[in-house]
Amino acid sequence: QTLQLRALPMELAIRFWDGFEAAGRKQGETALRVAIRALCMADLFYLLVRVCKRVDMLHPWIYAGCREVEAAPNGRVDLWSRGHYKTSVGLGLIMQDVLKDPETTQGIFSHTRPVAKAFLRQIMRELETNKILHIAFPDVLRGVANALDKASGPVKTTASS
């Protein structure tokens, strides 16, 4: 079923999300939570656009890029031009991997440490503050703020850091 969802054009995928969420909502809060969780785990574009509210990514080219990354997420280097959302898609994939398997280890590489730390802060901020993720993944994100603070040392997650 995941492959069928990923094969849909962007407009039909969004309609599918709407219908899937509506069916969950109709069955109650728990069913809606299960529906959102399933979509987050199955659809990187849903996670980024709908749950992380990255509506700036609503573009067919970015949708196709997400689908390309989902089809073969590992063992490749994605070379996209600047401004084509490769970092956003990559960070979304890391979040999706962590939501699927909280025990996974991820590496963030950059030419300078401050850039890598900024990427880590972006992921931490989303996992710490996104209420939809906390509702859909209470088992994974319970205590995430404390665990991430300990793991990364004295990194502040505010915009002023």
Split at pLDDT 50, 70, 90, the class of 151 is very low
pLDDT band at 144 (very low <50, low <70, confident <90, very high): low
Distance of CA 112 to the CA centre of its chain: 24
* Alpha-carbon separation of residue 98 from 41, 80, 124, 144 (angstroms): 10, 24, 11, 11
Give the pLDDT confidence score for residue 121 in this predicted structure: 92
Instruction: Return the structure tokens found at 133.
Output: 């993720």
| Angle formed at CA 21 by CA 19 and CA 22, multiple of 5 degrees | 60
Mean pLDDT of 126-149: 80
Q: For residue range 16-31, list pLDDT tens digits in order.
A: 999 999 999 999 999 9
The answer to whether the beta carbons of residues 49 and 58 sit under 8 Å apart is: yes
DSSP 74: S
The pTM is what?
0.83
As a whole number, mean pLDDT of residues 121-140 equals 93
